Structure 1
């Protein structure tokens, strides 16, 4: 088995591992028996005072004008001295009665939208100790949800009686890591925006969009620490998280296309990613699942692009493959969206920051790239010999270069545009910060036009002329 064949097998093995990480846990969950449910407070649905039936509140749709739920809480001697509370996490307003007496409300329950005041998504109703009596206690909860502006598969997330605990303490403990990470993400966004504005690799508008979307998602996630909002705004929050996750996934997939040398394949991968994101946003009924599957779509798009690049020998493509497999695997961890999601992106941004520092150092053109009629072009882990006269034009692609030959073939080189221009100064002329052309193939220079000055090559290709490069172009073609 040769080295090339062994490398190909490693690349294909990573691609299969990524596919298993994407679909394996979901398939295993479908084939495995459902886990035993943890016993919870037993509730009954009472459409009328004397007409009650047991119900699973986690699958109850709040489609009646007012939904009435009842349960019996059997109190022991210790419960009379304990601080008890009813925890409600639901997209609904609530009214709680204990042994017939009203002990608390969350918003105002009403038979229609006009008479209902939306309550908070999560609330604690404290139970007065003097209301708790030994033995059975009748608990009645009335709910209404007339301000839902989007369908919710599970309106009630929690309805339980237990010891009182400070809700802010639990929320702070859960979201504190995300809040701390937001400072590093803000630095990543400022750095990406600075690189983009300074036109320094690996900066780009796509990278700035990615860091901005992740930073905004962090702010929305941690907003529960500072804001107290009603349950309709909880839907706004969940929608924003899913939408920002989709934007980040799209930007991630577009960044990964640097590994794909073929332009038509890049467009195809982008279209497939957009379709996958639409399915992720409108397919799963659970809001967290929308954001999770959007992230998985972006990670799998990155895996696909990296696989194509690795098979073509593009530098760092196999590393991107392995990182995508790790990301897909970790996405099945509990509470991944709250912490692990941001740690993964911070790792990516840290790697890109290290790359920016490395590229900022002036690097001489390798001696093997001699200025000769035959050029040795770095192509991943190998080199390709190309006659300089066969060059048509070169387009910058982050810290890579997309070379178009006179016969129409394209080659993705790991040398940047500046290095290639220094390699073949007699056959490449820079006309734009992103383009260099072979002067021998210039058919015309158009000084004015709707999109500004352009160079027209033989064959009809038109490329823009950068303002700072016009003088050199005029001198060269004079």
Structure 2
């Protein structure tokens, strides 16, 4: 995408990129004079740039799309450029096939420049040309560039982005640390989406909005496509494909955000369709008539987000919830950031703001899930408590017996005498009222089905009749196992696991 909508902003933006680039610290970049270049119609031979057919204009306004042109520019170099020992290269970022001359000598070709598309060979969007030692001179240097762009899918307002001298390195290194920062944001978005997908597989999956997962997925795809230029030097026709994909993702994200907010704010079907139709129509019109894909991409998200501000504010006016106020504040910050940086918002700032916005939405839903889990635990404790009460009623109404077998002998004991049980290998120790003990041949799991509902497993090795619990106390002696202890009517105490303590308290209270 083009760097800025205005000539001076382009130069400033390029300078800022150089300042943040770790590679630019070793040697500065020397740019051509972007403000005044001579542009002549194309041909196979370098033209006379003083000819009447040539014009003086800005480098960024020169347009090789659908034709062939020649550009003559001035490159001013200081003495220190000749003193450096590092190899140098001339960098050209343009949506065109190209051929570059420096001080009358051919530096190289990128693709094959041609007067027609049939014979043109597409060059790379961002390329470099090695500059031999001794070719440069202090002061003014003459740069001549031959360009053609017959294989373009779109017609951009500014297909030329950069022409500069710098240290010989990969052309993608010009973008400095920004691709790495975008990659970090991409990882955050991906992990957030993965977290939501995992939650969708949980018992609370019905409470996870699928719309939020889709929004994160769209943002991940858009950022991945945006990053391509920072990692790969692709052929210039693919630049148009990349721009279209970014714009489609931006519009999809914007419309998806509006739909998500309409559903979240519980609009009726008629109101949803009305707001959505108005928002999509206005967005489509502004995107279609706006110049430059940078501005189109920004508006594709900002207009639906602005409509979303109205939706959330209406919901807050009706319901006065803190959640709606938080959403409105987050959306307002997002829209203000976009409005204050229309031409450059589509870059790293856009994805940072999108990540923060989605983070707010995700955080609210996670808080709601936490509240639901707390409520579910409270409901479970209430159910357990009710079951214990019912079991107590059944226990007083009927008498139950437990059959114990020892070899050929069988003993029947009243389960009302059993106070607590402890697993002991293949047996279970039954501790009876009055201090007696018996052995049950089996596991705790098989035994609990034969005991009244007042018995609860409070530890992996213990069953207790809750009717005989006198008090609960936390274990302050770290040398002893057990998070807490139940003190029983016979004077014994039984450990309680931390996981089950809440249920035990709820059943007893």
- Superposition TM-score tier, normalisation by shorter sequence: 0.5 to 0.7
Q: Report how many residues are paired.
A: 334
Alignment of 1:192-231 (within 5 A): 192-196=196-200, 200-231=205-236
Structure 1 unaligned runs (5+)? Answer: 1-28, 366-478
Quote the residue 1:317 is aligned against: 324
Alignment of 1:70-85 (within 5 A): 70-82=72-84, 83-85=87-89
Contact 1:178–1:342 under 8 Å retained in 2: no
> How far has the Cα of 1:312 moved from its partner?
0.9
Q: CA offsets per residue over residues 158-202 of structure 1, 9 Å max, x none? A: 223455565443435012122112222122223334455667354
Q: For the residues of structure 1 that align with 2:230 and 2:279, how far apart are their CA atoms?
A: 33
| TM-aligned CA distance change 1:64 to 1:41, over 3 Å | same
> How far has the Cα of 1:319 moved from its partner?
1.9
Choose which of 157, 160, 166 in structure 1 pairs with 2:161.
157
Q: For the residues of structure 2 that align with 1:230 and 1:356, how far apart are their CA atoms?
A: 47
> How far has the Cα of 1:271 moved from its partner?
0.8
Quote the residue 2:483 is aligned against: none
| More off after superposition, 174-183 vs 162-171 | 162-171
Q: CA offsets per residue over residues 416-438 of structure 1, 9 Å max, x none? A: xxxxxxxxxxxxxxxxxxxxxxx
| TM-aligned CA distance change 1:75 to 1:97, over 3 Å | same
Contact 1:73–1:137 under 8 Å retained in 2: yes
1:303 aligns to 2:315 (yes or no): no
| More off after superposition, 249-258 vs 39-48 | 39-48
Counterpart secondary structure, 1:130: coil
Counterpart secondary structure, 1:143: strand
Counterpart secondary structure, 2:333: helix
Q: For the residues of structure 2 that align with 1:147 and 1:256, how far apart are their CA atoms?
A: 41
Contact 1:69–1:140 under 8 Å retained in 2: yes
| TM-aligned CA distance change 1:77 to 1:184, over 3 Å | closer
Q: For the residues of structure 1 that align with 2:209 and 2:288, how far apart are their CA atoms?
A: 29
Contact 1:81–1:129 under 8 Å retained in 2: no
Contact 1:88–1:122 under 8 Å retained in 2: yes
| TM-aligned CA distance change 1:168 to 1:157, over 3 Å | closer
Counterpart secondary structure, 2:347: helix
What is the TM-score of this pair, normalised by structure 1? 0.63
1:92 aligns to 2:99 (yes or no): no
Q: For the residues of structure 2 that align with 1:136 and 1:105, how far apart are their CA atoms?
A: 23
| TM-aligned CA distance change 1:344 to 1:150, over 3 Å | same
Q: For the residues of structure 1 that align with 2:304 and 2:201, how far apart are their CA atoms?
A: 25
Quote the residue 1:243 is aligned against: 248
Quote the residue 1:337 is aligned against: 347
| TM-aligned CA distance change 1:175 to 1:235, over 3 Å | same
Choose which of 274, 277, 284 in structure 2 pairs with 1:278.
284
Contact 1:260–1:308 under 8 Å retained in 2: no
| TM-aligned CA distance change 1:140 to 1:300, over 3 Å | same
| TM-aligned CA distance change 1:343 to 1:190, over 3 Å | closer
Quote the residue 2:37 is aligned against: 43
Quote the residue 2:192 is aligned against: 188
Q: CA offsets per residue over residues 426-452 of structure 1, 9 Å max, x none? A: xxxxxxxxxxxxxxxxxxxxxxxxxxx
Structure 2 unaligned runs (5+)? Answer: 13-32, 42-46, 380-509
Q: For the residues of structure 1 that align with 2:266 and 2:220, how far apart are their CA atoms?
A: 28
> How far has the Cα of 1:300 moved from its partner?
0.9
> How far has the Cα of 1:298 moved from its partner?
2.4
Counterpart secondary structure, 1:344: helix
Moved over 6 A (4+): 34-39
| TM-aligned CA distance change 1:192 to 1:247, over 3 Å | farther
Q: For the residues of structure 1 that align with 2:74 and 2:310, how far apart are their CA atoms?
A: 55
Q: For the residues of structure 2 that align with 1:97 and 1:143, how far apart are their CA atoms?
A: 12
Contact 1:192–1:211 under 8 Å retained in 2: no
1:326 aligns to 2:333 (yes or no): yes
Quote the residue 1:347 is aligned against: 359
Quote the residue 1:115 is aligned against: 119
Counterpart secondary structure, 1:54: strand
1:127 aligns to 2:121 (yes or no): no
1:252 aligns to 2:257 (yes or no): yes
Q: For the residues of structure 2 that align with 1:85 and 1:101, how far apart are their CA atoms?
A: 14
Q: For the residues of structure 2 that align with 1:77 and 1:185, how far apart are their CA atoms?
A: 47
| TM-aligned CA distance change 1:70 to 1:196, over 3 Å | same
Aligned Cα root-mean-square deviation (Å): 3.0
> How far has the Cα of 1:121 moved from its partner?
1.6
Counterpart secondary structure, 2:325: helix
Q: For the residues of structure 2 that align with 1:205 and 1:99, how far apart are their CA atoms?
A: 60
| TM-aligned CA distance change 1:329 to 1:75, over 3 Å | closer
